[in-house]
Amino acid sequence: MKEIKNTKTILNSIKKRVLNFFSKNGKLLVQIVLTFIFFLIAFSFIKEEQSELYQIKNSITEAKPIWILVGFLIAISYIFLQGLMYVVSFSAIGSKITLKDATALFLKRNFISVFIPAGGITSLYFFTEPLLKKGTTKTEVHLASAIYGFVGIVSVVLFAIPLFLFSLLKGSVGYDEWLVLGLVIVIIPLFVLLFNSLIQKGKLHRFILRSFPKIEPFLIDLQEHKINRNKFLKIVLCSVIIDAVGIAHIYIAMKALQFESSLFAATMAYVVAVIFLIISPFLRGLGAVEVSMGYILIKYGFNNMEAVAITLFYRFFEFWLPLFAGIMLFVSKIQKLLMRIIPALLLLILGIVNIVSAITPAIHSRLHTLKDFLPLEAIHTSNYLVLSTGLFLLVTSAFMLKGLRIAWWFAVLLSVVSLIGNLTKAIDFEESIIALLVLFVLIATRKEYYVKTNPRLGIIGLQTSLLSILAVLIYGVLGFYFFDKKHFNIDFSLEQSIQYTIQNYFLIGSDNLHPIGTFATHFLASLKISGFLSFCFLIYTLVKPSILKNTATDEEKELVTELMHKYGNSSLGYFKTYFDKLFFISESKNAFISYRLAGNFAVALENPVGSSNEEIKLCILEFDKFCYDFGLRSIYYRIPQASLKTYTDIGKKHFFLGQAAVVDLREFHLEGQNRKSLRNALKKITDLGLQATINEPPIKDGLLQQIKAVSDQWLQETSRKEILFSQGIFLWEELKKQTIITVENNEGKILAFINIIPDYAKDESTYDLIRKTDDAPNGIMDFIMVALFNYLKSKDITYVDLGLAPMSGIENPQTIQEKSMKYAYEKVRSFSHYKGLRNFKDKFSPSWHNQYIVFNDDYDLIQIPRILTKVIKP
């Protein structure tokens, strides 16, 4: 019985955990399942459409170019008309969006609609975030999208009813078409009834509130939005024009393919196809549209081949071009990332292809043909050259990721050599095509490679390489010349010695050189290794980025200190003039940026300091140009939310970093239930006889020695190291000039300390180091913070900046970065100390302020963690 009871307990525990997991991660699991389903659908879609793509190619080949051009122009107008229809839909409910945003919304939704069930309707739920960020409410987005979708159906019916009545007289419309039209006509009043029920709080409204009470605010917001009748008619007009464009596409297809054209047949085929598109649940009517349109065209006198050709031509302009435009829009969002990664990846692939091609046997027939044009020795030389090029391509691909201009030139040179070498070694045109493709990609992405290299190091590398070449040549020539004949079975002349040395140094090799014994083998290996290593060193020195000065001048320090006292308005101002910083001063001398270098990144601390917002913005632009000229990437660390617009207006991106805590001393007190733990901590410290001492500057050396001992012990016990950039380290001369609060026992031993640093924000103060001994009692940090508050109150200070709590404060994550950060903050143990930091600061009831990292593109984003790790090191 006991075992059964234990088993039940275990099963109940497992059940509870499973249910808890599903309750917390249900949404994520549904998303994963849907993503997997959509992936399978997408795979099926691409596989099914291979034959259609091939037929489209043949149709276009036979078509008249002038009509193809007209089709392209109308397809472009079709895309922008769809965007315009979104603009008018939003305008009808009193909201505004730009044509650019509306067109992007259409292209994204059109693309996703291919891969989701009932995509024409369900896609209207997607891609709302960009509009929400620009001030449009979620209700407005969904209502305008619903109007857009509804009117799209209405306009087709407006075309269909008179058209079907006319066709009825001619007897060209069958029972199936009328049945489908009837179904669509029924859908329209059904939508109207459902919408009215929601607005007028009818049965549907009450049912939704009972089933989904959380969406009540959305329904209230929906009821407050009125649809402008005149603008609604404009939406209908816009939709009718879009339908007319669709009809024009079919008519153009007839003209382009030189078939007999019929406007009535084109109109009838379009209307029937769109009706089938509306009721088709998957892949934007793929299959249903082709069959229905082809069927109608055949009924109007076109043969099977003509009907299929017209349908495919129409689908190319109406379906494939907008789909491709949507793909390009998605790709453009990661363009910067791809622009840097793809060329490097292609170079790596080309390097591997070259190596594999060089070491595998050539196709005999091609080699036989090539021998009629080139001597055998030239063919072998080309093979070794391709092998060497492959090795150097592997090295160069790594440097391409850094955006180095010289690496780009190396890549171009090696690609050209690969292109020619693969043709001259065995007419391997497949490898040459890959090299040509890489060359085109390099030319297309040339602007992404602008990082300057260090000319001094390049000269050193060139000198070293030339000396190494000379040394190895002497070594090789003397070796070959004085070798005994038994090692290679050759009595080398001076000319042969030079020839074989050069061939092996440059990894070309020699077919008629066969080492006999390990000594000769090792000698050849030493020549090849020496050649490869010296060339690697040459490449490294040539592509090493240019190094800027790493110290600020006295004149710069004097000017930025003056600007800080005039225009500083931040708690981080003290660290903007810290010893670890470099300074970029604007041309007007009225603003500066404080930054540190890490690799080829310049990391700026917070906003620039300047006389006005215009000066600050101009300083950012000048700093970015400065970074570009020196091949640096700019990152701005700890930007307040209030300043984000300055950066987004010039095209920069951002992601959430954490929240900074600021205590209002006018509202801080120790009364109340929520302060009980704080009061208990203070009482405990007081009962132990500990007391806080205010030490005004200049601080005596004896006191600093005691504080230094506390600091060293704290670093050792917590296994931490001093870090810089947005905080300070223990600097004797700096601390000597600052107010320091210490907590001491009855014997005068210091158990904890905190130093107050300059704060350039109005009526605000802040601190830097707060450290304690390992034997300090619990609650001593709370005690010293309260002592700090009391001291600052006595100095008429209103606010205290408690600093940043990284990764904390994300309530509703929107982006994948924010979702990942929230998960790491809450679940990953290695980040648990951030939660402890947040909880400590939360004891004092501060207001929390969002802070961000600002960067240029997605390629920067993936490197930011590594760069920040470097920049905080002393």
| Model confidence band, residue 3 (pLDDT cutoffs 50, 70, 90) | very low
- Burial (Cβ within 10 Å: 0-12, 13-18, ≥19) of residue 31: exposed
pLDDT at 37: 47
Q: How far apart are CA 515 and CA 526, in angstroms?
A: 13
Model confidence at 179, pLDDT cuts 50, 70, 90, reads: low
Residues in the chain: 874
The DSSP string of 83-138 is HHHHHHHHHHTT----HHHHHHHHHHHHHHHTSSTTHHHHGGGS--HHHHHTT--H
Average pLDDT (690-711) is 93
3-state helix, strand, coil in the chain (%, to 5): 65, 10, 25
pLDDT computed for residue 121 by the predictor: 53
pTM over 0.75: no
Q: Give the whole-angstrom CA distance, residue 189 versus residue 187.
A: 6
Contact 41, 115 (CB under 8 A): yes
Most trustworthy range by pLDDT among 95-109, 127-141, 366-380: 95-109
pLDDT band at 863 (very low <50, low <70, confident <90, very high): confident
Q: What percent of the chain has pLDDT over 70?
A: 73
Q: What residue type is 225 in one-letter code?
A: H
Contacts of 312 (CB under 8 A, 6+ apart): 52, 55, 56, 59, 290
CATH code linked to domain 455-543? 1.10.287
* pLDDT at 298 (0 to 100): 80
CA distance 714 to 735: 17
Task: Provide, rounded to the nearest whole percent, the portion of the chain with pLDDT above 90.
Answer: 21
| Span 470-482, average pLDDT | 77
Instruction: Examine the pLDDT at 108 and tell me if it is beyond 70.
Output: yes
Q: Which of 10-19, 109-118, 468-477, 529-538 has the lowest mean pLDDT?
A: 10-19
Cis peptide leading into 130, omega within 30 of 0? no
Least confident of 237-251, 408-422, 655-669, 829-843: 829-843
* Alpha-carbon radius of gyration of the chain: 37
Distance CA 470, CA 488 (A): 23
Residues 350, 355: Cα–Cα separation, whole Å: 9
Map out the domains of the chain as residue ranges. Answer: 1-48, 55-173+231-331, 335-448, 455-543, 554-652
Confidence band for 182, pLDDT divided at 50, 70 and 90: low
For residue 183, the model assigns a pLDDT of 57
Residue 817, pLDDT score:
65
The answer to whether the Cα torsion of 343, 345, 351, 353 is positive or negative is negative
Q: State whether residue 739 is helix, strand or coil.
A: strand
Residue 134: pLDDT band (50, 70, 90) is: confident
CA distance 769 to 781: 12
Mean pLDDT score across all residues of the chain: 77
Q: What is the pLDDT of residues 584-602, one digit of tens each?
A: 999 999 999 999 988 778 9
The pLDDT score that the predictor gives to residue 59 is 53
- Token readout for 523 is 């000698």
DSSP code for 453: B
Q: How many CA atoms lie within 13 A of 254 on its CB side?
A: 22
Q: Which residues contact 486 (CB under 8 A, 6 or more apart)?
A: 516, 517
Give the pLDDT score at 518: 75
Confidence band, pLDDT 50/70/90 cuts, at residue 379: confident
- What does the pLDDT read at residue 765? 94
Contact 267, 167 (CB under 8 A): no
pLDDT average, residue stretch 793-803:
93
pLDDT at residue 785 is higher than 90: yes
The architecture CATH gives domain 554-652: 3-Layer(aba) Sandwich (3.40)
Task: Please say if the pLDDT value at position 441 is more than 70.
Answer: yes
Cα distances (Å, whole numbers) of residue 244 to 155, 247, 270: 10, 5, 9
Alpha carbon distance 783, 682 (integer Å): 5
For the segment 24-38, the average pLDDT, to the nearest whole number, is: 45
Find the range with the poorest average confidence among 77-91, 365-379, 680-694, 830-844. 365-379
pLDDT of the residue at 46: 44
Residue 5 has pLDDT above 50, yes or no: no
Task: Name the residue among 287, 257, 421 with its Cα closest to residue 355.
Answer: 421
Mean pLDDT for 187-202 is 60
> What pLDDT, on the 0 to 100 scale, is given for residue 852?
93
Beta-strand runs (E) in 488-600:
582-585, 591-598
In terms of C-beta density within 10 A (0-12 exposed, 13-18 middle, 19 or more buried), how is residue 254 classed? Answer: buried
**Model confidence at 19: pLDDT above 60:** no
State the DSSP string of 229-252: HHHHHHHHHHHHHHHHHHHHHHHH
| Across 519-525, average pLDDT | 75
**Is the pLDDT at 632 greater than 70, yes or no?**
yes
| DSSP run (H or E) holding 863 | helix 858-871
Residues 6+ apart with CB under 8 A from 271: 156, 159, 160, 163
Evaluate whether 570 touches 607 at the Cβ level (below 8 Å).
yes
Is the pLDDT at 773 greater than 60? The verdict is yes
Please check the confidence at residue 616 and state whether its pLDDT lies above 90.
yes
User: What pLDDT score was predicted for residue 299?
Assistant: 77
- What mean pLDDT comes out for the span 642-666? 90
